[in-house]
Amino acid sequence: MQAGFAMLCAGSIRSINIKNIMLKNLLDACGGAIGYWSLGYAFAYGSENNSFIGSSNFFLGSVKDYTSGYDLAFFFFQWAFAATAATIVAGTVAERCKMVAYFVYSFALTAFIYPIVTRAVWAPQGWLGAFRTNGPSTTWCTTSQQEMGLCISGSFANNDGFYPSRLFGPGMIDFAGSGVVHLTGGTTAIVAAVILGPRIGRFKDEHGVKLISPNNMPAHSVILQVLGTFILWFGWYGFNPGSTLIQSTASSSYVAALAAVNTTLSAASGALASFALRWALSDSGLLDVTALTNGALSGLVAITAGCAVVWPWAAVVIGMFGGFLYIGFSNLLIKLRIDDAVDAIPVHFANGIWGCISVGLFASNTLVKKAYDYPTNSYAGWFYEWSAGCNRCGNGSLLAAQLVGVIFIIGWTVCLMTPLFWTLNQFGLFRVPKEEEQVGLDISHHGGSAVQLTKPTEEALAAHKRKSSTPHSPIPPPQAHEPQIAKVVEIEEDDAV
């Protein structure tokens, strides 16, 4: 997944910032690994019965499975999710974010903010999710709670035959992370974009006057965009079917196969829907490759929560609406003058919300029972409430749990990320100086362009080095290079003659 995000981001930004964005993607993987190993995994999956946060297994110190290696494999799998949540923001803040701010945010997200969301939704002790199934002592589910109906019995009950009830009965179903991963990352991205502000020249001219129409900052390479999309699409088959965690039973094999099929159909329908809508809205009949790639990613994000609990026809509907939602939310960001260099917010934030809500609409009670091993066909999405064999099962309880989950994830992330980004911004640690942004972060921070240097870029690099040694010496404006460009062309033409 990291490779896919790296290629997608590199292709979606300008060529003067490729090294910078690649380095940030590497930092997500490396810094995220250390942060999740040291703190994050313990906060998310510590064995205590605290439903909010764990407090054991820091630095994997409590790993006891020396035979199968399941604990270590589970950590590795969960680290991949944590790194994905962190790297979603890289594209949104591209071309203007300081490296130190990016590292601080990435570590904070993987070490604390994301693990708390994981604890709530995916840990068996979590207060929010459908996996809340265990409790080793009566103190976690008291006799009075049992008498009040706050605990239910089942095959995963504790020694007393009871465990605390899931939220509204079913709990929040997010099988592979529409909410946990993508909504957390997408919410972080929108907070960062608002505080950081748009790129220079995106919505205002050089005098600071608002432009009537935003300045288009074209992608560097459609080839890399498409390559990144295919890599991500392939990686999704590790996340969605892989979230069954085991393949040793017929039931788990069926769930994994269904997740793979639904992932494919939702991605395809999302891509076609966004591509068709962008073409229909274009005055010139534009056939937009970016609409196709981001539409596919939108469909993938949207199906991630419900890939194991909806039928294939519903996956097509979910993906199609996800593609439409991407186009609508992308246009909304422009109207609000929020600059997202790679459209990560429409893909991950908007479709993270939609993916969670779609479970509350389309989840089949039969598939929910199979995927989560519920004792009965108790809960279903709204469209199945009155279907045969369901007998109004759930009465909207699953949809309600999904909505509470969405509100919690957004609220938690905003409440922690807003002061973090605001503090970084106040101390001048968030955004690069104007002259460095204009010349490009590859030249101003990484010693040169990621692509072959031309005469003007070499001169820009030399000018930046002179500026570094003489702080008050300004970098020549871009137009100062135009005569040299013409001169180089003339020399090349003379040589050719």
Query: From CA 109, how far away is CA 414, in angstroms rounded?
Result: 12
Rounded to whole angstroms, what are the CA distances from 354 to 102, 305, 399? 27, 9, 12
- Same-domain check for residues 398 and 484: no
Q: Give me 453's structure tokens.
A: 């240097």
Mean pLDDT of 147-159: 41
Q: Which residue has the higher pLDDT, 155 or 284?
A: 284
Is residue 328 situated within a structural domain? yes
Query: From CA 462, how far away is CA 415, in angstroms rounded?
Result: 43
- Same-domain check for residues 209 and 319: yes
Question: Taken in order 244, 248, 251, 253, is the CA torsion positive or negative?
Answer: positive
Query: From CA 431, how far away is CA 349, in angstroms rounded?
Result: 23
- Same-domain check for residues 323 and 229: yes
Rounded to whole angstroms, what are the CA distances from 412 to 168, 323, 483? 20, 27, 54
Start-to-end CA distance of the chain, whole Å, equals 50
For residue 151, what are the β-bridge partners? Answer: 164
Q: Give me 18's structure tokens.
A: 């490729």
Query: From CA 78, how far away is CA 429, in angstroms rounded?
Result: 30
Q: Which residue has the higher pLDDT, 153 or 258?
A: 258
Is residue 488 situated within a structural domain? yes
Query: Cα 119 to chain center, whole Å?
Result: 17
User: How high is the pLDDT of residue 160?
Assistant: 39
Alpha-carbon dihedral 407, 408, 413, 416, rounded to 10 degrees: 120
User: How high is the pLDDT of residue 151?
Assistant: 45
Lowest average pLDDT, out of 39-48, 309-318, 362-371, 487-496, goes to 487-496
- Same-domain check for residues 291 and 420: yes
Q: With contact defined as beta carbons under 8 Å apart, do 262 and 178 qualify?
A: no
Domain endpoint, select from 410, 426, 442: 426
What residues have CB less than 8 Å from 434, skipping those under 6 apart? 200
Count of alpha carbons within 13 angstroms of residue 180, beta-carbon side = 30
Residue-wise pLDDT for 277-292, tens only, equals 999 998 888 899 999 9
Mean pLDDT of 51-55: 90
Tell me the pLDDT band of 209, cut-offs 50, 70 and 90.
Answer: confident
Is residue 149 situated within a structural domain? no
- Same-domain check for residues 419 and 468: no
- Same-domain check for residues 221 and 290: yes
Is residue 332 situated within a structural domain? yes
Residue-wise pLDDT for 13-22, tens only, equals 999 999 999 9
Count of alpha carbons within 13 angstroms of residue 407, beta-carbon side = 7
Q: Which residue has the higher pLDDT, 284 or 421?
A: 421
Query: From CA 162, how far away is CA 137, in angstroms rounded?
Result: 10
User: How high is the pLDDT of residue 470?
Assistant: 56
Tell me the pLDDT band of 425, cut-offs 50, 70 and 90.
Answer: very high
Instruction: Provide the mean pLDDT of the chain.
Output: 84
Query: From CA 174, how far away is CA 52, in angstroms rounded?
Result: 17
How many domains does the structure of the chain reveal? 2
Q: Which residue has the higher pLDDT, 163 or 211?
A: 211
Count of alpha carbons within 13 angstroms of residue 316, beta-carbon side = 3
Domain endpoint, select from 426, 444, 468: 426
Rg of the chain over Cα atoms, rounded to whole angstroms, equals 25
Residue-wise pLDDT for 109-137, tens only, equals 999 999 999 999 999 889 998 877 643 33
Q: With contact defined as beta carbons under 8 Å apart, do 310 and 382 qualify?
A: no
Q: With contact defined as beta carbons under 8 Å apart, do 27 and 102 qualify?
A: yes
- Same-domain check for residues 38 and 187: yes
- Same-domain check for residues 354 and 470: no
Question: By residue range, what is the domain housing residue 369?
Answer: 2-132+167-426
Q: With contact defined as beta carbons under 8 Å apart, do 144 and 115 qualify?
A: no
On the question of pLDDT at 166 being above 90, the answer is no
Alpha helices in 220-249 (DSSP H): 222-239
Is residue 16 situated within a structural domain? yes
- Same-domain check for residues 242 and 318: yes
User: How high is the pLDDT of residue 161?
Assistant: 39
Q: Where residue 398 sits, what CATH number does that domain have? A: 1.10.3430.10
Query: From CA 183, how far away is CA 4, in angstroms rounded?
Result: 19
Is residue 105 situated within a structural domain? yes
Q: Which residue has the higher pLDDT, 50 or 468?
A: 50
- Same-domain check for residues 326 and 473: no
Query: From CA 347, how far away is CA 360, in angstroms rounded?
Result: 20
Q: Which of 160, 189, 218, 181 has its CA nearest to residue 12?
A: 218
On the question of pLDDT at 365 being above 80, the answer is yes
User: How high is the pLDDT of residue 453?
Assistant: 53
Residue-wise pLDDT for 89-100, tens only, equals 999 999 999 999
Residue-wise pLDDT for 471-483, tens only, equals 544 444 444 444 4
Over 192-221, what HEC string results? HHHHHCCCCCCCECCCCCECCCCCCCCCCC
Q: With contact defined as beta carbons under 8 Å apart, do 122 and 136 qualify?
A: no
Mean pLDDT of 363-392: 76
What residues have CB less than 8 Å from 404, skipping those under 6 apart? 128, 167, 168, 172
On the question of pLDDT at 449 being above 90, the answer is no
What residues have CB less than 8 Å from 248, skipping those under 6 apart? none
- Same-domain check for residues 25 and 114: yes
User: How high is the pLDDT of residue 387?
Assistant: 63
Task: Give kind and range of the element (H or E) at residue 301.
Answer: helix 289-304
- Same-domain check for residues 332 and 473: no
User: How high is the pLDDT of residue 141?
Assistant: 44
Tell me the pLDDT band of 206, cut-offs 50, 70 and 90.
Answer: confident
Tell me the pLDDT band of 153, cut-offs 50, 70 and 90.
Answer: very low
Lowest average pLDDT, out of 50-64, 354-368, 381-395, goes to 381-395
Q: Give me 296's structure tokens.
A: 């596919």
